[in-house]
Chains A and B, each alone.
Chain A
Amino acid sequence: MEYLIRFSQSHETFRLPETKAIAEVGGIDMKVIYYNPESPYCVVRLPSEEAAHFLMSRSILAQSIHEHWGTGENYEVLHEEVKRKTSHLWPKYKNSSFKFSLDLYQGTRPNKRRVELINSFSYMPFEGEINLRTADEHFVIFEQWDFQAVTRNLPDPLKIHLGRVVGASQRKLIHTFDLKKRDYISTTSMDSELALVTANIALAGPGKLFYDPFVGTGSFPIACAHFGALAWGSDIDGRSIRGDGAKKSLKGNFQQYGLSHLMGEVFVSDLTNSPFRKKRILDGIVCDPPYGVREGLKVLGVRDVEKYDYVIEKGKVMYKDEDFVPPKKPYSFVVMLDDILQFATDRLVDNGRLSFWMPTANDADQEIGVPTHPCLEVVVVCVQVFDKWSRRLITYRRRPDSEVDAAALERWQQRTETNGGVTADELNPFRRHYFNAFRTQAAVDGATLEAVPN
């Protein structure tokens, strides 16, 4: 059977990847029949209505799903298709209470015309009562109008669909997890909508182990835990995990949402010196790594070993002190990306996913490519566009070793070794050039919760 998904018209490049990921979590064989980023309507083939319900049980970017009763360029074509395709279904709803409504995308209709359009379906032999509040069945006429149809005074929509409502999505979770209502956040907390979408795309689910190595205030682990995963996190900054040690802390956030039972481990560590065993035990890694716009990117160590010899000596003696702060040194963003890919390669189970965020300037010549690793296949790249910059959510799948190109792997290892690899201490010019483009923007947004590269 075909189903029509009514998406929210935002985060367009994330919508289909999210839906496909949910289908994968549910083991659902879904085929996309019609999709256009400019339209909120998408038609898919699903094995059952149960599958449609499953999609909605996790979807953030859909609004609702409908049994697809027909599509046409005009009402004549639509009515013909509805009659041809669904007359066998009519008897099923003969005695149900029902209602019809209109969903006009980028268009308007006067009330009188709305009633006429609804009445044009009166050939369906429905004898139940019309109930606008609690109808058993709800039919929706979807009109897709062209851009600025109202101001351009266009006479007709581009396309019309008819659907029978099957279920609503989980968009309400955006409010449940709203940062404004969360006890503990920081300027780089990921907004609830995109944190949930990220968890979906990374296939978070019950019985799985997920990890965020740049956990901050925990937006991603909380989203993963909501979908049932045991969620781990760590951060180089212990203060961000501890917060005030009570309500305003990472643990407090899990408590606020009743998710404490799915809080795995949270610990303090530097990704480049991680205590995580090199063992393939993670189902997913989701994160928003630091990019050093606000503060330079730092890892453990001292920049100049000879000059800061005394610092090193002091550390040997002092490290057990409760307030000892280990020295940090600047680090290259590009090398950190390699580190993340290698970390994921060594820890993800077969087909486990890595999803991470990465900022980009909107200028093509400053574009930095999608980082690659022979053991990781790029599943999808989603883009969120702001005024002067964008950020991408890049998602990979850990290839089973049998799928990995051995020669490519060897080249990768050689390259990361020769440029210093995971221990490199090069400060590359990239950060200066790359981020200058939106540094001013970041300064403007710096005090607000709006997303800026961090």
Chain B
Amino acid sequence: MKVLSLNFLSCAVKGCKSSSDSYPLHPKDAELVQDDIEVNAQLLINLLPRIDWTALTTTATELGFPALPPQAPTPEELEADEAKLKDLHHLLMETQIMEGKLVCASCGHEYAVREGIANFLLPSHLV
């Protein structure tokens, strides 16, 4: 699972959707791998306004990345700064959680990630 994806997903439990604690999910015992993917500037620039920067900052810190700047770069800044673009690409697109868990801080439910694939199926008491 990519770090980008953690920014777009929350707890699957319906009762949790309205709770701010259900997002972002918190990685636990995460084993990371780094993929090698060519930088796709157009994609990153388009995605930037859709990213919740506060949540991304939390995720990055929890995964042991150096602290992100408090403000998201603007698309123009990103376009003009190759190093920034590369760093963001590395974090969002190349960093994958291969094994581990994602924990909801609202209901405590743990979602398993195995071989890079997260499982959001819920047991019956949560649907």
Contacts and interface: CB of A to CB of B under 8 A. Distances in A.
A273 interface: yes
Contacts of B50: 209, 279, 281
B5 A273 contact: no
A278 B115 CA distance: 27
Given A261-B37, A273-B14, A274-B12, A207 B43 contact: yes
Contacts of A322: 112, 114
Contact of B124 (A274, A278, A326, A423): A326
Nearest to B124: A312
A353 to B, nearest CB: 16
Nearest to A319: B123
Point out which of B5, B23, B120 has the most chain A C-beta atoms below 10 A from its C-beta: B120
Interface string B100-112: 0000000000111
A300 B12 CA distance: 11
B84 interface: no
Contacts of A206: 42-43
Contact of B123 (A208, A230, A274, A324): A324
B40 interface: yes
A275 B110 CA distance: 13
A209 B114 CA distance: 24
A208 B43 CA distance: 7
Given A245-B115, A277-B8, A265 B124 contact: no
Given A207-B45, A277-B10, A320-B110, A264 B5 contact: yes
Interface stretch (A180-188, A235-243, A412-420): A235-243
B124 A267 contact: no
Interface in A259-292: 260-261, 264-270, 273-279, 281
Contacts of A47: none
Contact of A311 (B43, B111, B124): B124
A182 B38 CA distance: 25
A275 B47 contact: no
A267 B115 contact: no
A269 B12 contact: yes
A381 B110 CA distance: 41
B112 A265 contact: no
B127 interface: yes
Q: Which of B23, B114, B127 has the most CB of A within 10 A?
A: B127
Contacts of A311: 124
A207 B11 contact: no
B68 interface: no
Nearest to B43: A207
A266 to B, nearest CB: 6
B46 A207 contact: yes
B124 A242 contact: no
B42 A207 contact: yes
A326 B115 contact: no
Contact of A267 (B10, B42, B117): B117
A316 interface: yes
A393 B111 CA distance: 34
- In this complex, the member of A261, A274, A277 whose beta carbon has the largest number of chain B beta carbons within 10 angstroms is A277
A371 interface: no
Interface string A216-252: 0000000000000010101010100110010000000
A273 B122 contact: yes
A327 B114 CA distance: 20
B121 A270 contact: yes
B8 A276 contact: yes
A446 interface: no
A268 B118 contact: yes
Contacts of B42: 206-207
Contacts of B2: 264-265
Nearest to B49: A281
A451 to B, nearest CB: 28
Nearest to A229: B43
The listed residue with most A CB atoms (<10 A of its CB), out of B8, B17, B37, B50, is B8
A208 B124 contact: no
Interface string B58-83: 00000000000000000000000000
10 nearest A-B residue pairs (beta carbon): A315-B123, A265-B5, A269-B120, A207-B42, A275-B12, A281-B50, A319-B123, A207-B46, A275-B9, A301-B127
Given A238-B119, A300-B121, 10 more contacts: A230-B43, A261-B37, A267-B118, A267-B119, A267-B120, A273-B127, A275-B11, A316-B125, A320-B110, A320-B112
Interface of A: 206-209, 230, 232, 234, 236, 238, 241-242, 245, 260-261, 264-270, 273-279, 281, 300-302, 308, 311-313, 315-316, 318-320, 322, 324, 326-327, 423
